[in-house]
Structure 1
Amino acid sequence: MKPLYSEERIHHRVEELAREISRDFLSKDLVVIGILNGGFIFTADLCRSIAIPHEVDFMAASSYGDGTTSGEFKITKELKKSVQNKSVLLVEDIVDTGKTLEYLLTEVQKQNPKDLKVAALFWKQQKANPHILVDYPGFIIEDDFLVGYGLDYKGKFRNLPYVAKLEGTD
């Protein structure tokens, strides 16, 4: 594995994002929603760094069929409370094609939040659906397969404190 993002670099970027989020959501009723499984570490670190009061919840979705093409999605972990009239920040580990995020945005939007924004540690902007916007991108990246800091390969490597490029994942 080739390390690409050190623990220090990630920490610094998370702090920067938290400052932006704290400023933008000042005086708003903020709910941070971490997307499981990969987003749990980024969500935890981001929430600890956000300087304004906020609630935290988690949700998860999975694809069935071929999730990379025309597969369907389903919610596998629901939110505990409604986000109606709340300011919502969805927190993703990585936005690849954006299909899962698009599905989750649609599902959350059904609850009529006051506003709905997205933070993602990594955004494959060139590969992702151009209609999907990441409001708070950590790093805009190429189409590399990354592991660490919540990102996994076959359930492994989420625990790494840094992010590395995994070679030969065919």
Structure 2
Amino acid sequence: MILTSQQIANRVRRLGTEITRDYQGRDLVIIGVLKGAATFTVDLARAIDLPVVMDWAAVSTYGRGSTAGTPRLLKDIGEELTGRDVLIVEDILDTGTTLSWLMARLRERAPASVNCCVLLRKPHAVAKPVEPRYVGFDITEHWVAGYGIDYAERHRNLGDIHEVRLPSAALSASSS
């Protein structure tokens, strides 16, 4: 196990406090990136003590257990962003390909600002220029699953985050 559900919950509360302070009095739109960041986005939104609007985007650069390369927009947001502050919530910042692509796409819609909050960052893997404003945890190069993050579309339901050691790795469905 890499992170327990309690470690995650504590960090999400602290991130919510920081975001509340930083966006006080502003018009904040939170955009969760499906599917991996769904759990994190909902928990984070509940930890933010501000009126926020939530929307969802789905972008894919992954296949079943392997990277596919070029980002593809699977679901666009419906919110108008002009003049509003946007906070993209993502599960993992790995190479930065997906997040830099999505940030550039959303900046074209004339928001007041575009920032991002990532649950996990692999600092040594980032190849694109992405500087998240908020980071939950830095991790090493492992494949991970749990807390909404999948491996081959499985294990999103785990409360803790686990390292996936082999493609055939079976993670316990029970988690504390």
TM bucket, shorter chain: over 0.9
Cα distance in 1 for partners of 2:76, 2:97 equals: 18
Question: What amino acid maps onto 2:36 in structure 1?
Answer: G
Instruction: Return 128-137 or 32-41, whichever deviates more.
Output: 128-137
Q: Deviations over 1:11-49 (max 9, x none)?
A: 000000000000000010000000001000000000011
Asked whether the 8 Å contact 1:88–1:113 carries over to 2, the reply is yes
Report how many aligned residue pairs link the two structures: 166
Identity score, percent: 34
1:135 to 128, 133, 136: 133
1:32-51 mapped onto 2 (5 Å cutoff): 32-51=30-49
Indicate the SS of the match to 2:87: strand
Indicate the SS of the match to 1:74: strand
TM-aligned CA distance change 1:37 to 1:64, over 3 Å: closer
**Superposition RMSD on alpha carbons, in Å?**
1.7
TM-aligned CA distance change 1:119 to 1:64, over 3 Å: closer
Q: Deviations over 1:64-113 (max 9, x none)?
A: 89x947x4322111111211110000000111111011110111111011
Asked whether the 8 Å contact 2:84–2:111 carries over to 1, the reply is yes
Indicate the SS of the match to 2:126: coil
1:1-170 mapped onto 2 (5 Å cutoff): 3-63=1-61, 68=67, 71-129=69-127, 131-169=129-167
Asked whether the 8 Å contact 2:90–2:116 carries over to 1, the reply is yes
- Runs of 4+ aligned residues of structure 1 deviating over 3 Å after TM superposition are none
Asked whether the 8 Å contact 2:95–2:128 carries over to 1, the reply is no
Cα distance in 1 for partners of 2:85, 2:148 equals: 25
TM-aligned CA distance change 1:37 to 1:129, over 3 Å: same
